[in-house]
Structure 1
Amino acid sequence: MSQNTSTSTSTSTSALAGTGVSIDIRNVVKRYKSMTAVDDVSLSIEPGEFLTLLGSSGSGKSTLLNIIAGFISADSGAIEVGGKDLTKVPPYRRDLGMVFQHYALFPHMSVWDNVAFPLKRRRISKAQVAERVQRALDVVELGHLGKRRPTQLSGGQQQRVALARAIVFQPQALLMDEPLGALDKRLREQLQLEIKRLHRELGTTFVFVTHDQEEALAMSDRIAVLRDGALVQVGTPVELYERPASRYTAEFLGESNIFTGRNHGVDEGSALVVRPEHVRLSAVGSALPTGHNAVDGVVREVVYLGSGLRVEVALPDGRHLITRSEVRGALTPSPGLPVAAHWHPEHALVVRDDTAA
């Protein structure tokens, strides 16, 4: 990108920037007949924060986002934005931007008219519409494509148009429902960086929905993990990855080696979590680092990942253990090789085993 383009984009972004607002979700419940889609969820989102709602299909993350947006009514509970109760306020009066997974662009309109649409609905003057639309398109680096139709754009460009349309009226917060789910890996990673840049420069509160754990880790200030409509854990990416509170969070957010059992003095079941990158492999019978825990096994599979190796070790009791190591380590693993898998106790975490819940 040229220096002039960078300066222009920065100027346009600052012109669209607003002050992020807090979003408070208070004891929200949503049921569909016998199914509870959102189960008494309470969550406070800080002004200007990038919070991701993360969960598998059916976890309630999109339902909760749509309740914030006003497209779905909760059975009970409240939604406050900037300290104002919006629970009964219709979506078009909430002043919230929304980006959908499948863009929801008007195919018969030009890119420029798609972005201008929310401004025209708000009866903003033609001069202001023209200025704001151009700024928004410049921010997403599509200022030169305003005359094209959405069908003449790539998937990534269409998603940028959707982003421009969502920020053009300077919403209090921007809500995104799996906006990158339909894109290929390379383009998805590119737009992750674009969205992070927008968040940083706009200062707007972002609420982002995804089922992709890597996406959540890469983009978020905090992550709220949902399961079966309930809130499981909230924390920064580092907190959730390195200090999961339960087995479910540990297994959902990244690969984990899990050893189950019962923790003395604790009524419920417990699990010992060791992340693959903390497990080392040595030849059976060789001296191990002092204090390391170890289990013997046999290499079952080796996968080359470019930056390292993913090695699966079969243990005597039939379980499998995963390690991630350097390509040119001290030991070259190959299928059938007997090994000792070991780790330092400080890299093992005892958590609540909630998988049977």
Structure 2
Amino acid sequence: MDTTPTGLGGAGTAIDIHHVVKHYKGASAVDDVTLHVREGEFLTLLGASGSGKSTLLNILAGFVEPTAGRIEVGGRDITAVPPYQRGLGMVFQHYALFPHMSVWDNVAFPLRRRKVRKAEVARRVQQALDLVELGALGKRRPAQLSGGQQQRVALARAIVFRPQALLMDEPLGALDKRLREQLQLEIKRLHQDLGRTFVFVTHDQEEALTMSDRIAVLRDGKLVQVGTPEDLYERPRSRYIAEFLGESNIFSGDGDGERFVDARTRAAFAVGSAVAGGSALVVRPEHLHLSAEGGDVPAGHNGVSGVVRDVVYLGSGLRIEVALPDGRTVVARAGTRGELTPRPGLAVVAHWHPDRSLVVRDDTGSPIAA
């Protein structure tokens, strides 16, 4: 019989992944990943298809057995523990609701399996449904709900038995953009209300930036970089991270800590931050400013001359492509009411402050490009 204290909130638990490896027919889906998830943290596993993020989550959940390595939850080794004894909640991409059961019975299912008292089941189910704002829909079947409502039912079922941590495998992938953005904020609120540890898998960069306390980026089964959304966006350690998280202007060349020399034009740019051995210069579009050719450029700014090729109205601002003489393109983002009115064919200088120049490792094997 369940004797857990009442209430759905509580402190989260730490999760430790130690040198986890998973091989499939000689190929590494997860390649020696070590990661610490802090108590009560919202950590997102982010990566492209085939990066190993879902495999790693399924190893955490106990659905996939690792080839090597160890998993600890709250300091307890659970590597060989079956899924139903790990005390972890799981939300799948396709909800996995029982179609023949009502919403109420779907949420009650994990409590009944744990032989919780009937009165306690009723109290907890109603509390979980109220928390996801479905308290009045308990009698409906899943088929009578929208996609967003079904996802909330899946969340309620995952939290109703008070798991030590909640694991979510791309739970918003099947929803339209508006509903996905709404549920992103609701899941973030739910995390704050519960105080539990959340591990969330997605391939959507904006989703990861919006929801996470920290993001762990995986590539080809390896952990590339872990940090806060601001860390990864403003201070990427490699070209891959800069390209994967948001849009970037990137030049290949060589940096010596104080300046960067473009490989194609041999132009030298002052830099604000550099990685040892860095060979790619990163400038985010929002840090790139445009002045008319021959106009004023702030003293000390780096700059490249070019011609406006395209201007796209985004509602909140403009996305402006500038073609450089050597065939490359840089992108700037600007407000709709700036001093300069960009139009195709306008000769401009794209310039930026040296502090906005990031020199990183070029780990992509990409050709010289911007």
TM-score scaled to structure 2, two decimals? 0.91
Shift of the alpha carbon at 1:185? 1.0
Measure the CA separation in 2 of the matches of 1:251 and 1:148.
45
Written as runs of structure 1 = structure 2, the 5 A alignment for 1:261-300 is 261-264=253-256, 270-300=279-309
Measure the CA separation in 2 of the matches of 1:90 and 1:104.
19
Cα deviations by residue, 1:18-39 (Å, 9 ceiling, x for unpaired):
2200000000000111321000
Which SS does the other structure have where 1:78 is aligned?
strand
Letter of the 2:118 partner, please give it: K
8 Å Cα contact 2:278/2:359 also seen in 1:
no
Shift of the alpha carbon at 1:264? 4.1
Shift of the alpha carbon at 1:15? 2.0
Shift of the alpha carbon at 1:356? 2.1
Shift of the alpha carbon at 1:262? 2.2
Cα deviations by residue, 1:230-258 (Å, 9 ceiling, x for unpaired):
00000001111110010100110111100
Name the stretch that deviates more: 259-268 or 299-308.
259-268
Letter of the 1:226 partner, please give it: L
Written as runs of structure 1 = structure 2, the 5 A alignment for 1:130-209 is 130-209=122-201
Shift of the alpha carbon at 1:269? 5.6
Q: Give the one of 305, 313, 325 matched to 1:304.
A: 313
Shift of the alpha carbon at 1:335? 1.3
Measure the CA separation in 1 of the matches of 2:237 and 2:53.
19
1:317 matched to 2:326: yes
Shift of the alpha carbon at 1:125? 1.2
Shift of the alpha carbon at 1:130? 0.8
1:122 matched to 2:131: no
Which SS does the other structure have where 2:358 is aligned?
strand
Shift of the alpha carbon at 1:268? 5.1
Letter of the 2:81 partner, please give it: V
Structure 1 portions without partners, runs of 5+: 1-13
Measure the CA separation in 2 of the matches of 1:268 and 1:293.
21
8 Å Cα contact 1:108/1:149 also seen in 2:
yes
TM-score scaled to structure 1, two decimals? 0.94
Measure the CA separation in 2 of the matches of 1:134 and 1:116.
9
Shift of the alpha carbon at 1:17? 0.7
Q: Give the one of 218, 228, 238 matched to 2:230.
A: 238
Which SS does the other structure have where 1:215 is aligned?
helix
Letter of the 1:323 partner, please give it: A
8 Å Cα contact 1:302/1:309 also seen in 2:
yes
Cα deviations by residue, 1:54-77 (Å, 9 ceiling, x for unpaired):
000000000000000000000000
Cα deviations by residue, 1:91-115 (Å, 9 ceiling, x for unpaired):
0000100001111111111100110
Partner of 2:99: 107
Measure the CA separation in 2 of the matches of 1:267 and 1:296.
28
8 Å Cα contact 2:23/2:29 also seen in 1:
yes
8 Å Cα contact 2:215/2:229 also seen in 1:
yes
Partner of 1:26: 18
Cα deviations by residue, 1:202-250 (Å, 9 ceiling, x for unpaired):
0000000011111111110000000000000000011111100101001
Measure the CA separation in 2 of the matches of 1:198 and 1:15.
14
Structure 2 portions without partners, runs of 5+: 1-5, 258-274
1:63 matched to 2:55: yes
Cα deviations by residue, 1:281-314 (Å, 9 ceiling, x for unpaired):
1101112101011101111111111110011111
Partner of 1:216: 208
Partner of 1:8: none
Measure the CA separation in 2 of the matches of 1:54 and 1:264.
31
Measure the CA separation in 2 of the matches of 1:110 and 1:191.
22
Measure the CA separation in 2 of the matches of 1:191 and 1:296.
43
Cα deviations by residue, 1:82-136 (Å, 9 ceiling, x for unpaired):
0000000000000100001111111111100110111111111111111110000
Partner of 2:31: 39
Q: Give the one of 24, 41, 45 matched to 1:53.
A: 45
8 Å Cα contact 1:268/1:353 also seen in 2:
no
Measure the CA separation in 2 of the matches of 1:259 and 1:235.
24
Measure the CA separation in 1 of the matches of 2:276 and 2:207.
35
Which SS does the other structure have where 2:100 is aligned?
coil
Give aligned pairs, total: 344
Which SS does the other structure have where 1:16 is aligned?
coil
Q: State percent identity of aligned pairs.
A: 76
